[in-house]
Amino acid sequence: MEEPDREAMATAVQRVAGMLQRPDQLDKVEQYRRREARKKASVEARLKAAIQSQLDGVRTGLNQLHNALNDVKDIQRSLGDVSKDWKQSINTIESLKDVKDAVVQHSQLAAAVENLKNIFSVPEIVKETQDLIEQGNLLHAHKKLMDLECSRDDLMYEQCRMDSKNTHERNLIQNYFGEVQHLSEELAKQLWMVIQRAITTVRNDPTLLVSVVRIIEREEKIDRRMMDRKKQTNFIPPGRPKKWKEKMFDVLEKTIVTRIEGSQADTRESDRMWLVRHLEIIRRYLLDDLTIVKNIMVQCFPPHYNIFNKVLDLYHQALSSRIQELAAEELEANEIVSLLTWVLNTYQSSDMMGNIELLPEVDVKSMKPLLSQDVVDKLLQQYMATLRSNIIGWLRKALETDKKDWDKPTEPEADQDGYYQTTLPAIVFQMFEQNLQVAAQINEELKKQVLHLCLQQMNTFLNRYAEEAQLYKEEHLKNRQLPTCYVQYMIAIINNCQTFRESIVSLKRKYIRQEEDLQITSTPSMDLTLNNIANDGCNSLLDEVFIDLEQHLHDLLTRKWFLGSNSVDTICVTIEDYFNDFARIKTHYKQEMTIKAHRKVVTEYIKAIMQKRIAFRNAEERKEGAERMIKEADQFKFLFKRLASGFSEETDGLCNTIVDIAEVIKLTDPSLLYLEVSTLVSRYPDLRDDHIAALLAVRGDASREMKQMIIETVDQSQRHQNSNYTPIFKDIIVPSAAISVPKLLK
């Protein structure tokens, strides 16, 4: 107690010190004292009240404990008296056994008397019940059946109470009521027939379905009552519990399964569209049935049956099982697409579960998938494998068909711009388009996979296309008279390359939305292959031209040419004639061919000079020959300027090479020959020593020492090659006889 006292004193000192900090507060000491006195009195009063309350509670508790003790003593005395009386009455109870048996027998006889009317009229009631069942009056039939079952059950129960081991009496009763079980089974058959046709019946006669549900509800109540009595007496009537509610849902489930399986009217052998028809019939059945259940059938069942959701679950389970069975079959590619499109898209769309007629009861987002993801992935893999095989086959067949057209004696078709083409690109990309449209119906990922597969197979196909075009050319070269329309079909092959390229770009833009996916599916190898096919085709056509010009090119810069041969005229006419046929080739390819033909002609002309087919004998011949070379260069300029009229192509540069060479040949003062050759070398840095030697040999007036001096001097000079210069002399080979051994070694 000393510690609290000290703490209280210290607290008081602090409070007083706080009150008396200023001199003017001394006047209020009496006021402070009275206020603290009032607080003390208030606290003491509350403390006294609390202690008094606690004392009253203790007093009340002691009184209750005292009363309880007295009650316990009274109960103990009463139990003693009861025990004494029980021991004295044991003998009396044993003497009442006969009375007990009499009571049981009386109860049994009372039950027999109560059911006496039914007992004697059992055959008659059975007959009436049978007639009512046959007439379809199910409610009345069930009422009579319940009366018969009640009489039988009461008699058997009383017999069990009297002697549970006496099975003879119970068998006798059961045999007497033997037809009752048969009636129950007959009635059940009628009920299940109605349930099987419930969706159809409820449209025309909903009262019949209501009667069936009422009968099932009665039986459920009886089942519950009998099960409760079994817990007390261990007696259960024969055939109980019937569980007709459970059986009703079993019948509904079997009916739905049969309805789904029975919707397959065709097989693959009889109809290629069997699966599409099967799934469409299922869709119509399911939508119609669920609509009827939602709008009409739910009104025939008690709310706790939750009949709509139950039927919905049964349909979903049955449908899932059926879809799994279909997925396990050896399906073709189009069948896999039909199945997956239906499962992943149609099932949850507004055409089925998302239909406005089923809202809001059906929530498609909460529904389980019809197929597991593993099965879906397996089907997609199977589809991709089958599609790959089919695409390979389709492309091979399309190419074989196109190859047959190449040998036809008639020209290929032309597009709206008049360019030759074959149907191959259209056939190939129509096939790709169809497969991509189908894949897009399933999901975005499959569409990407199919596009990747198409581009991959397209790459392989183009390599094969290039090989076939090369074989086509080689076969033609064996006999240039066949095929009749070789040039036209080669033009079509070249034009197809442009169509293929445009179709690939269009396909990717249409089916790939994101830029990164476009980069992933870039096809540089295909572009390269198409360029190679087109270039090879253009070269093949130019080969045709120059094979016909071979002899005329061989006559250039020969003595025959010098004496007045019209080889260049023939060359120009032939090239122009061929390029008239090339008008059906697309512009940029024609432009490339014109450039190549121009370069080829000039190169062949220069090659004729460098091969020293002629050596001029004097200045007059050199002048005449040079002027003819200049004239023919002008002819080539005019020809290729006309051929390049549809596009910009510099024709003067190449032909000026011939003019520059002619100026060297035309030069009359040999002392200026070095200067002229130096100028030529500065313009054409790829001009080699052997070219210079051959050119001087054609002039015919340069001595060996002059040739050697000019060549060595030119070698010592620096050659500056313009970045825009395209070499022309590097591919021109001079016959080895024109080069001295020391120079060759150098």
* Distance from C-alpha of 732 to C-alpha of 610, rounded to nearest angstrom: 8
* Distance from C-alpha of 531 to C-alpha of 528, rounded to nearest angstrom: 5
pLDDT surpasses 80 at 445? yes
pLDDT at 648 (0 to 100): 58
Residues 6+ apart with CB under 8 A from 646: 587, 590, 591
pLDDT at 529 (0 to 100): 93
More confident residue, 739 or 121: 121
Q: What phi and psi, each to the nearest 5 degrees, are found at residue 339?
A: -65, -50
* Distance from C-alpha of 428 to C-alpha of 362, rounded to nearest angstrom: 44
pLDDT at 110 (0 to 100): 67
pLDDT in tens, 267-299: 666 667 888 888 888 889 889 889 998 888 888
DSSP letters for 259-310: HHHTT----TTT-TTHHHHHHHHHHHHHHHHHHHHHHTGGGGS-GGG-HHHH
pLDDT at 536 (0 to 100): 95
pLDDT surpasses 70 at 184? yes
pLDDT at 741 (0 to 100): 43
pLDDT in tens, 623-673: 999 999 999 999 999 999 999 886 655 656 789 999 999 999 999 888 888
Of the pLDDT bands very low, low, confident and very high (cuts 50, 70, 90), residue 718 is low
* Distance from C-alpha of 565 to C-alpha of 604, rounded to nearest angstrom: 17
pLDDT surpasses 70 at 174? no
pLDDT surpasses 80 at 600? yes
Bond before 670 cis per omega within 30 degrees: no
What does the domain layout of the chain look like in residue ranges?
Answer: 2-89, 100-242, 253-371, 377-542, 549-745
pLDDT at 388 (0 to 100): 92
* Distance from C-alpha of 728 to C-alpha of 688, rounded to nearest angstrom: 11
Averaged pLDDT for residues 19-27? 77
* Distance from C-alpha of 581 to C-alpha of 429, rounded to nearest angstrom: 28
* Distance from C-alpha of 50 to C-alpha of 48, rounded to nearest angstrom: 5
Residues 6+ apart with CB under 8 A from 313: none
Instruction: Give the range among 105-109, 589-593, 724-728 with minimum mean pLDDT.
Output: 105-109
pLDDT at 87 (0 to 100): 77
pLDDT at 410 (0 to 100): 93
Topology (CATH) of 377-542: Tetracycline Repressor; domain 2 (1.10.357)
pLDDT at 95 (0 to 100): 64
Averaged pLDDT for residues 33-46? 86
Averaged pLDDT for residues 444-467? 92
pLDDT in tens, 131-150: 888 887 888 888 888 887 78
More confident residue, 116 or 183: 183
pLDDT surpasses 50 at 404? yes
* Distance from C-alpha of 615 to C-alpha of 694, rounded to nearest angstrom: 10
pLDDT at 225 (0 to 100): 87
pLDDT at 746 (0 to 100): 43
pLDDT in tens, 206-229: 888 898 999 999 989 988 888 888
pLDDT surpasses 70 at 165? no
Alpha helices, H only, 95-166 = 97-114, 116-120, 122-135, 138-162
pLDDT surpasses 90 at 157? no
pLDDT at 362 (0 to 100): 85
pLDDT at 654 (0 to 100): 87
Tokens 């080889």 belong to which residue?
A: 567
For the chain, the straight-line distance linking the first and the last C-alpha, in angstroms and rounded, comes to 130
Residues 6+ apart with CB under 8 A from 679: none
Q: Which CATH superfamily is domain 549-745 in?
A: Exocyst complex component Sec6, C-terminal domain (1.10.357.70)
* Length of the chain, in residues: 746
More confident residue, 136 or 327: 327
pLDDT at 565 (0 to 100): 87
* Distance from C-alpha of 209 to C-alpha of 292, rounded to nearest angstrom: 13
Percent of the chain at pLDDT exceeding 90? 35
pLDDT at 738 (0 to 100): 42
pLDDT at 423 (0 to 100): 94
Domains 377-542 and 549-745 share a fold: yes
pLDDT surpasses 90 at 363? no
Question: CA geometry: angle at 525 spanning 520 and 526, to 5°?
Answer: 95
More confident residue, 173 or 13: 13
Instruction: Work out the mean pLDDT of the chain and round it to a whole number.
Output: 85
Annotate 463-486 with three-state secondary structure. HHHHHHHHHHHHHHHHCCCCCCCH
* Distance from C-alpha of 645 to C-alpha of 591, rounded to nearest angstrom: 10
Q: Which tokens sit at 233?
A: 């007496």
The answer to whether the CB of 575 falls within 8 A of the CB of 698 is: no
pLDDT surpasses 60 at 349? yes
